Amino acid sequence: MELREIIKKLIISYPIIYGCTMMAAFVCCLVFHPDAVFGIDYLGKALVFALAGDLPSLVFCSKRELSHREWMVRQIIHLLMLEGVLLLFGWFLKYYETVAEGVFFFFIVLLVYIVVRILAFSEDFKDAKEINQVLAKRKNDKK
């Protein structure tokens, strides 16, 4: 993807990541700190955190078309960068304080990542099915 395309994608995904951050914080607090009270600064921190989660997508930036293998490698790098950046920011912003909470946080991020990929794939699968139906119909009409 070209830089312009990536930036467009980053802008679109930013509010989605922000919403997911809020949901993840809600689940974490529900499990570890059910009595937690947040100040207004929390909203600002979440904005920074969402930006940190958005920027690793720049790893997909390329002037030429990536091969399947290159794409998969970048996908793995993206996941590792995302985990690293989010764990780091999560620590600084005190989203988690103990190792156990950190591990839980790591798996929450991984789970969300996998769910998003599965949802995207199933959406693509639906598109492919719809397209294949038309292609098959056209081939049959030609015969």
Partner 1 sequence: MKISIEEIPRGEEEEIIIRCHEMNEEVMALLHKLKSSGEQLSGICGDEIYRLRLSDIYYFETVDQKSFLYCESRVYETKLKLYEFEELAAGTRFFRASKSTVINAGKISHIKPSLSGRFEAFMDNGEKLLVSRSYVPSLKKVLGL
Residues binding partner 1 (CB under 8 A): 2, 5, 64-65, 68, 71-72, 75, 117, 120-121, 124-125, 127-128, 130-132, 134-136, 138-139
4 versus 94: smaller Cβ distance to partner 1? 4
64 versus 94: smaller Cβ distance to partner 1? 64
CA distance readout (Å), 60 to 48, 64, 67, 132: 21, 11, 12, 28
68 versus 94: smaller Cβ distance to partner 1? 68
In one-letter notation, the amino acid at residue 92 is: F
Instruction: Report the nearest approach of partner 1 to the CB of residue 21 (Å).
Output: 22
Helix-strand-coil split of the chain, %, nearest 5: 85, 0, 15
In one-letter notation, the amino acid at residue 118 is: I
Instruction: Report the nearest approach of partner 1 to the CB of residue 68 (Å).
Output: 6
Nearest-angstrom CA–CA distance, 113 and 115: 6
